C-alpha cells in the first residue's frame, strides 16, 4: 500500500535531501535519494524544485559536467528554517500516528 504524498511532505523530503550536500546536488541524484523513501518521478520532482526556488528555499546554479551543463540545487538559509519547521511538524505528526497504531490516544 502506498500513502498519498502531499506537496508539503514532498517539499520537506526534497529540502532534507538537498540539505545533505553543502555544495548542492542535481536533479537525478535528488530523485534517486528521494526514491529510497517514497515513489517519485522526475516529472514530479522538477515542479517541486521550481516551487522551492520560487519560495527562495533553494538557490540554483549550473556547472559543466562531461561537456554538458548540470543544474545544481542548494538550500538557502530560508530553506533551512523551513526544513526545521517541517522536521518539527513531522515529529509531532508521526508520533501521534504511531501512538494510534500502538493503541494509545483514545478519546472518550
In a domain, 98, yes or no: no
In a domain, 49, yes or no: yes
pLDDT for 106 equals 59
Q: For residue 83, what are the domain limits?
A: 7-88
Domain containing residue 40: CATH number: 1.10.10.10
- pTM given for the model: 0.86
Sheet containing strand 58-65, strands side by side: 25-26, 68-75, 58-65
pLDDT profile of the chain (108 residues), mean per 10: 77 96 93 91 91 97 90 97 96 93 70
Using DSSP, state whether 84 is helix, strand or coil.
Answer: helix
Q: Do residues 52 and 9 touch, judged by C-beta distance below 8 A?
A: no
Amino acid at each position: 500500500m502506498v500513502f498519498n504524498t502531499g506537496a508539503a511532505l514532498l517539499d520537506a523530503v526534497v529540502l532534507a535531501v538537498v540539505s545533505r550536500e553543502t555544495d548542492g546536488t542535481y536533479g537525478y541524484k535528488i530523485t534517486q535519494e528521494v526514491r529510497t523513501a517514497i515513489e517519485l518521478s522526475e516529472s514530479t520532482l522538477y515542479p517541486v524544485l521550481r516551487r522551492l526556488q520560487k519560495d527562495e528555499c533553494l538557490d540554483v546554479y549550473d556547472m559543466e559536467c562531461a561537456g554538458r551543463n548540470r543544474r545544481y540545487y542548494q538550500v538557502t538559509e530560508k530553506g533551512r528554517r523551513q526544513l526545521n519547521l517541517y522536521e518539527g511538524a513531522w515529529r509531532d505528526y508521526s508520533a501521534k500516528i504511531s501512538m494510534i497504531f500502538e493503541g494509545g490516544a483514545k478519546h472518550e
